[in-house]
Every structure is written in structure tokens, then in C-alpha cells.
Chain A
Amino acid sequence: MSTKPIKTSFPFTESQFFFWTLIIFIIIFRFYQTQPTYHLTNIIRISGYVRSEPIRYDTAQSVKLAGLKAYLPRYPEIDYGDFIVIEGAVGEKGKLLKPVLINHQTSTNFLYQTRKQIINEYRQILPEPHSSLVVGVVLGAKSSIPEDFWQALKKTGTAHVVVASGMNVTLVAGFLMNFLVTIINRKKAIIFALLGIWLYTMLSGFDAPLVRAAIMGSIAFSAQGLGKLYSAWRALFLSAALMLIFTPSWLTDLGFILSFLATASLMLFESKINRLISFIPNPFREGLATSLAAQIGVAPILYLTFGQLSILSPLINALILWTIPLITIIGGVGAIASLIHPVLSLPFIYAVYPLTSWFIFVVEFFS
């Protein structure tokens, strides 16, 4: 955030202790209250809007609906925001067996349409994996990434850049503020920046890391606007609590857990590491410091879940992280330009190409 945290100690007094204990109890209650219960082997028909991005495989796509996961044929492609009706038998581990797509209506919502239009624009101008990389970095849309490239990203520990991350929100907020304060006064700029953050979060698909960053960002900006003290730690815990009260299922969401651990690690270690490695020149130093700091919290979880750990990962991240803000901003401006007229986006999208070329070169070299 553009606001620096003022104090970084844990904000615990007696009344605060009571407040946080209460919050934890509410979360636990909500978690058990909202767990859907299904009986095995029942044939059911479920309908609803797709609220998370489907994952696409070679010949199938997996869609989450009403707490169940269904593997459907690869085409027709179901997108975030679409309304679908599927039928199938409830299996173990929340899987819907032998699912059949009964009905599929693509979303007519303005935001989802815009998102789709932007993704299409990139796909039509840039080849793979460049287009998926830009779309992943700008919008966190990872569903169309070619399988080989996705594996390479995972192997090199760089997959985090193409999933929706808090960093995107921070970049959008920073860019909006810097731009807006040149035309309107600071208070108004803050209001528009807040709007921008949430619009972006919606456009990118309401993934846990984005919502986390959006709430933290909102708290930071509001504090700034109201002239109040801002504690990054309190903002972090408060956003976690709010998210879990509204969507308890995020408690087991890997993205949610990693996002909080990474943020906490960054707050604790980033500046210290940055000072330790001050002999390394920028832009590589910042990337290395960021990724080393985040690794401290994230690595154990990744190792427990995936059983793999890339030792070279901080180094690779140091080589590529500097391109991410540039890709996000140039790509984002290109996306907005493409909404006015596709031709306007060309100079921006082509300007991104050398950056993605470098990124892809590094990732493929190390994988």
C-alpha cells in the first residue's frame, strides 16, 4: 500500500482480546453452519452461477458449484459468471460423478462481458503463452494457460504471478492514486481509488487473495482519508475475519491461506531482507527480497501440500518479478484502450511482448 504501517506490534489489549475471541467463535460457527451436506450416490440437479474460475484440462474442465466439483467435457467452455445447470451423482470428497451439462447460459452481466472481451482481445493479438501470461498477470485469469507452460511455472515457483494476487490490487490502487491526485483533490481521489479497487476485484473474479488485498487496501485508504492511525496487522486480521464470516469455506482455500501467510511474512521480513542484501543492484534486489520474505511463510505450506520445493525459486523470481508491475500497468492500460477500440490497444499490447518474452525465456530456461 502507499500508506506505510505506523505500528507493527500486535494490537492486543483486554477488550481487543475479547473482540477477537468473539470473532473466532463466529467464524467457527459459520464454518459448520454453512458446510453443505450431501448424501452419497444421490442423483441431484444443481443450478447456479459459477463463482470461481473453472480449471481447464486437455479434454475436460472442472467447475465448482454449490460446494461440489464436477468434471465436464472441455467444450463448451464455461466461464466465470455463467449460469449452469448440471446433473450427476454425489460422490466422495465433494465430487459430482457422471455430470451432465443440462443448461448453460453465458453471462450477460456487463462486468463479465467486459472481462471476456479483454481476454479475447489479448488472445487475438498475442500468441501463446504470451497472451495467457498477460491475461493471468493482469486479471488473474489462469484457465487458458497451456498445460506445458503451467507446469513450467509451477516447477520454477513462479505460478503465483498468473494467479490473482494481492500485488495486483496494490498496483491498481497505487496507479489510480498517483494518476488521480494529479487531477482531483486527495479525498476524492481516495474515493475513486476505492471504487477502482473493488471494480478490479470483481473483474478479476473475487478470488480470496484479491478480496484480502481489496479489504486491506480499503482499510488503509479509509484510514488515510479519515486521518486515522492505520495498523497493517489489524487490517490483515480484520480482513481475514470479515472474509471468513461471509465465506467460511475460504478457511480451507489454499489461495486464502497462502495469501495471508505471504502478506504476514512480507510485513515481518521484507524490509529486513532488503537491507541485508543491499549489495545487489535493483530491480533484482527488490524482487529477491520480496520473494525470499514471502517464501518464509509460504514454503512450508507449499511443501506440505505439493511435496515439492524449488530451491532456485527466489533466484528465478528475482530475475522476473520486475516485469510484473510493468506488464500489469501496460497490459491494463491496453485492456482499457481495447474497450474503446481494438486498434488503440495495439501499441500497448506489443509493448508488453518484449517483457513477456523475457519472462517466458527465464521460466523455460530453468524448467
Chain B
Amino acid sequence: MRSLFVWKITLSTLTLYTCLIWLVAVKSSALSGTRLIACDVGQGDAFLIIDGSAQILIDGGPNNKVTDCLSRYVPFWDRKLELVILTHPEADHFTGLIDVFKRYRVETFLGNGLKNSTQSYQVLEDLVRREGSQTLFPNTVNHLRIGLIYLDLLWPTSDHLSTHTDISNGYNNFSLVFTLKRGDFKALFTGDIEPEISSQIPRLSDVDVLKIPHHGSKNGLTEELLNATTPEKAIISVGKNQWGHPHLEVLKMLEDANVEIHRTDLEGDIILDLD
């Protein structure tokens, strides 16, 4: 009787671990490689860049859908994100990061240095502090390397930060703007910057992928920015919203320039293989 019980437990343990090993094998082959993923988080931004076992998360979206996205593309045994970037502290960009910080270990956190006075942002700040991640801001760093991925911070410049302290018009124009390079691939991330800033961003250059600023609002992309970056593909992270994003003007501008448009509201998660 007793030996039967022991036998049963041993057998089920072995079965479970065999299944586990198979799952690990299947997942690791399916999830390897280098990819840029625009998570479908509704009206907001959340981008995941995966390079081997390193992950970079750019913004967290307006809800905790980003954790589902992470579960889909990050193997289940990897619970560490190498870098989390918050382009600017607005609810549709930071809210999802609260759950990310609760669930994942975050090695480095890069923000734009501004604070939001809402209760939810304070929750995030507390979590970042408790996590003990290395915390970086644009005036302390302008290049970053994570594995084979290089980040070049273009905006906000320390000049802009020291001369503009008024945040009553919102955080959009303080959004972190940066290029992300891996091998020959190059992408520009633009947060929610508005037209008057696009012309001031220094060192813009040709890229493969452009993250369209401000969820495709006409108060975002400009001809100037498009001409300076000449992307092949454009990603618009957008969901159901009351402002009519993405605006037709922006879509037309991209069509006229023969840019391939990818929208999260139409395609769900957008996955670009960078290998």
C-alpha cells in the first residue's frame, strides 16, 4: 500500500518534469533570435526588444496587458529584464510598468527624470526604488549598450532640460527620443513628442523603423521628421480612443512616402524579426 503510494508520487513527479523539459525545449527554440515587438496594449505604448536572453522594454502601456505580452515572448524561466525605459511619465506609458516591476527583476531603469503627481505614478516610483534597479536619466547618460544592442539618446538634451522647467503643458515634449541599433538594423523611438520638438532633435539619421510619435496623432509626426529618418517601416501603437488616432493626415503622409505601415489596433502584436 505504502510502496504503491511512493511509486505513484515518483511516477507523477517524473512525468511532470519530463513535460517541463519538453516545454523548455519547445519554448527556447521558438523564442530565440532578435526581435522587435510592438505589444498590443490598446491606446498606449509598449515595445519589447529581445536579443537572445536580453530584453528591453520601452514603456508599459495603459493597463497590465504588457505582462501578457512579456509572457508570450519571454521564456517562462527568464524573469529578468535587462532594461526598462519610460519615455515620459504619462498614464498610457507608465501604468503597465507597475505590474512589470512587481513581477520581473529589472536591472536598469531609464526615465526622463520628470515626476507625475498622481497616486499611481507614486506607486511605480516606490516599486522602482524598492527593486533597487540602476536608475538613469538623460543628463547622466547618453549611450547605453545591452548585449549587442546600442542605444543613442537624442532627446531631451541637457540644454532643453535646463531651459524648460514648465510641465504645465504635459510631458510629451520631454519624451525620451533615441535610436536603437543592432548590427545593420536601426530604429528610432519617439515617445509622444510634438511637432515643435521634431525640428530640434539633433543627430537624426536614416533608420529602418520609425515609431510614429504620439499614437499617430497629427500633433506628432511631421514631414521634417519623416524626411530626416526615411524609414521603410512605421509602427503606430494605438487602440480605441476618443481623439481619432491615428489621424488621416499622418497615414497619408506615410503612404505618400511609401512607408510600410503597421498598426497595433489592426494587427495586434507586431513582430519584426531583426536577424
Contact = CB atoms under 8 A, between A and B. Distances in A.
Given A75-B120, A355-B16, A146 B68 contact: yes
Nearest to B42: A58
Given A76-B119, A127-B71, A357 B64 contact: no
A357 B23 contact: yes
Contacts of A131: 103
A355 B17 CA distance: 11
Interface stretch (A117-125, A212-220, A225-233): A117-125
A147 B105 CA distance: 23
B226 to A, nearest CB: 33
Contact of B98 (A75, A128, A147): A75
Contacts of A351: 13, 16-17, 20
B76 A146 contact: no
B17 A128 contact: no
Contacts of B122: 76
A353 B98 contact: no
A354 B67 contact: no
B103 A123 contact: yes
A127 B17 contact: no
B23 A129 contact: no
B147 to A, nearest CB: 21
A148 B68 CA distance: 9
A142 interface: no
B233 interface: no
User: Which interface residue of A58, A120, A125, A354 has the most chain B CB atoms within 10 A?
Assistant: A354
A74 interface: yes
B74 interface: yes
Nearest to B70: A127
B13 to A, nearest CB: 7
B79 A125 contact: yes
Contacts of B70: 127
Contacts of A59: 62-63, 95
A351 B13 CA distance: 8
Given A59-B62, A124-B79, A76 B120 contact: yes
Given A76-B120, A129-B68, A129-B71, A354 B20 contact: yes
A130 B79 contact: no
Interface residues of A, number: 29
Contacts of A130: 71, 76
Nearest to B21: A354
Contacts of B63: 58-59, 74
B20 A123 contact: no
B239 to A, nearest CB: 11
Nearest to A123: B103
Contacts of A326: 12
Given A58-B63, A75-B95, A146-B64, A127 B76 contact: yes
B123 interface: yes
Contacts of A175: none
B175 to A, nearest CB: 22
A351 B67 CA distance: 22
A114 B127 CA distance: 19
Among A75, A149, A351, the one with the most B-chain Cβ atoms within 10 Å of its Cβ is A75
Interface string B59-77: 0001111011011001011
Interface in A129-183: 129-131, 146-149
Interface in B80-99: 95, 98
A299 interface: no
Nearest to A122: B103
A146 B65 contact: yes
A131 B19 CA distance: 18
Nearest to A131: B103
Contacts of A76: 119-120, 122-123
A74 B95 contact: yes
Nearest to B17: A351
Contact of B71 (A120, A128, A147): A128
A127 B74 contact: yes
A119 to B, nearest CB: 10
Contacts of B67: 127-128, 146
A59 B41 CA distance: 13
Most buried by B among A128, A149, A357: A128
A320 to B, nearest CB: 15
Interface of A: 58-59, 73-77, 101, 120, 123-131, 146-149, 326, 350-351, 353-355, 357
Given A75-B98, A76-B120, 11 more contacts: A58-B42, A59-B62, A74-B95, A124-B79, A128-B103, A129-B68, A131-B103, A147-B65, A350-B20, A353-B76, A357-B19
Q: Which 6 A-B pairs have the closest CB atoms?
A: A127-B71, A354-B19, A75-B120, A58-B63, A75-B123, A351-B16
